[in-house]
């Protein structure tokens, strides 16, 4: 014996299954993305953290050491019996090495490093200029002293 409303019952059961599946999907899909998105965010945050750590290590272990080295060499301009040409060559070599080592990108770190290198280069040029001016001043003073000694004194007694 078959029920008389067998056809209607099958239609209702199919509708129920379709609505149940839609409801389960409506809950499952957001739940899946809720679980999946933090995983992606964590992965991206880990990559960003690793990049920042590499940048900090580069700044600390390489760049800062070179800047300190250039600073030490610039301070030795004031020392006596220093070979200025060798000093300039050493500073130029370190600065060019630093410039080649920084990664060319559009970040503020690249711009900062370029500015530091340019500032050190300008400081080197200024030190050289100051040294030349000091030599010229010394020559002028000695010339003035010689001319004052060779000139007869006009003292009125």
Q: Which sign, positive or negative, has the C-alpha torsion 90, 91, 93, 94?
A: positive
Residue 13 lies in a domain: yes
> Does pLDDT of 156 surpass 80?
no
Does the model's pTM come out above 0.85? no
pLDDT, tens digit (0-9, with 9 covering 90-100), for 76-98: 887 888 888 899 999 999 999 99
Residue 32 lies in a domain: yes
Residue 156 lies in a domain: no
| C-beta of residue 110 within 8 angstroms of C-beta of residue 102 | yes
Whole domain around residue 82: which residue ranges?
50-146
Q: Do 33 and 55 have their domain in common?
A: no
| C-beta of residue 87 within 8 angstroms of C-beta of residue 76 | yes
Q: Do 1 and 57 have their domain in common?
A: no
pLDDT, tens digit (0-9, with 9 covering 90-100), for 29-76: 998 888 887 888 889 999 999 999 998 998 999 999 999 999 999 988
> How many domains is the chain partitioned into structurally?
2
């Amino acid at each position: 014996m078959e029920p008389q409303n067998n056809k209607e019952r099958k239609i209702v059961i199919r509708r129920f299954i379709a609505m149940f599946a839609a409801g389960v999907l409506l809950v499952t899909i957001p739940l899946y993305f809720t679980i999946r998105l933090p995983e992606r965010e964590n992965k991206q945050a880990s990559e960003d953290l690793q990049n920042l750590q590499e940048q900090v290590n580069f700044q600390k272990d390489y760049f800062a050491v070179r800047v300190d080295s250039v600073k030490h060499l610039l301070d030795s301009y004031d020392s006596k019996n220093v070979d200025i040409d060798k000093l300039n060559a050493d500073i130029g070599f370190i600065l060019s090495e630093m410039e080649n080592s920084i990664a060319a990108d559009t970040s503020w770190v690249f711009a900062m490093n370029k500015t530091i290198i340019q500032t050190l280069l300008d400081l080197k040029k200024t030190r050289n200029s100051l040294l030349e001016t000091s030599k010229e001043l010394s020559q002028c003073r000695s010339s003035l002293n010689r001319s004052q000694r060779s000139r007869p004194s006009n003292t009125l007694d």
